[in-house]
Amino acid sequence: MKTLLKMPELPEVQTIVNDLKAAGLIGATIIGAQVLWPRTISGPSSNIFCQRIKQKKVTDIRRRGKYIVFDLSGPDHLLIHLRMTGRLHWVAPDQPRSKHEHVILHFQNQYQLRFHDTRKFGRFYLVRDPEKIIGHLGPEPLAPSFTARVLADHINLRKRMLKPLLLDQSFIAGLGNIYVDEALWEAEIHPCRMASSLSKVEIKALHRAICKVLKQGLKNLGTTLGAGQPNFCSVAKRKGRNRDQLKVFRRTDLPCHRCNSIVERMVVGQRGTHICPQCQMMAS
């Protein structure tokens, strides 16, 4: 059976951040690091990374888009992008190391934060100014400042197909294939519509839908698509429960929850896309 993989999106990344905080990492001091796959470190070099991160205290952990941001004592910030298969494991040092654990941070309390990544696409950035990495990101869709009017101001000027626009991290941060498909179904909007063609009513519906599906994903601790090891699980090794709440994503040939039409799969902007052809008709 083909392994179902997808990049963690806002609910999955926020779940990981919440787990890291619950594990007590804020205030903990990093006393050393091991880099077992140097390409995981995008900057600086792995040797300098290990030197600079030593004796740094974690002052805060937050999410920006799909990035996990560790604010450290002194001028540095550690940013982690999980990509397709990245995971963070908080373990005791006597736990045997997996061959897929490529970076290990050693903490003063004797625990280790290990980065596990079967595909080796995930990246670490140790930077003085995090805006160099995340400054291009668009607004956070669950921030109070992200209103329907803000979405309208952004969307009305865009002569782009709607789904690729919503996946563009410089337009809105944190959305990916799952939650875009779900939001468009919720709003009853076809993914191939031109963004500039949306009415005020449709934009308000889309705004509500984006917030709804993301909040649902957060409540359910993210979406785990299958039982295979590369699929998403939290730092606490919990699988997301949101798969059972999905309305169209990877429900090809199943009945729509709203109208009983058969869910179809199509390709939009080179991405597999799931729609209800009845609920999400193209505007005439």
Q: Which residues are catalytic?
A: 8-9, 66, 271
Question: In which residue are the tokens 């009983």 written?
Answer: 260
3-state secondary structure 44-104: CCHHHHHHHHCCEEEEEEEEECCEEEEEECCCCEEEEECCCCEEEEEECCCCCCCCCEEEE
Closest among 128, 120, 151, 152 to 41, alpha carbons compared? 120
Question: In which residue are the tokens 């309390």 written?
Answer: 109
Q: Whole-angstrom Cα distance, residue 156 to residue 135?
A: 23
Q: Whole-angstrom Cα distance, residue 7 to residue 13?
A: 10
Residue type, 4: L
Three-state secondary structure call for residue 224: coil
Distances in whole angstroms, Cα of residue 48 to Cα of each of 114, 182, 206, 282 = 19, 43, 45, 54
Q: Whole-angstrom Cα distance, residue 148 to residue 208?
A: 8
Three-state secondary structure call for residue 36: coil
Task: Give the contacts of 91 (CB within 8 A, at least 6 positions apart).
Answer: 111, 112, 114
The answer to whether 63 and 17 are in contact (CB under 8 A) is: yes
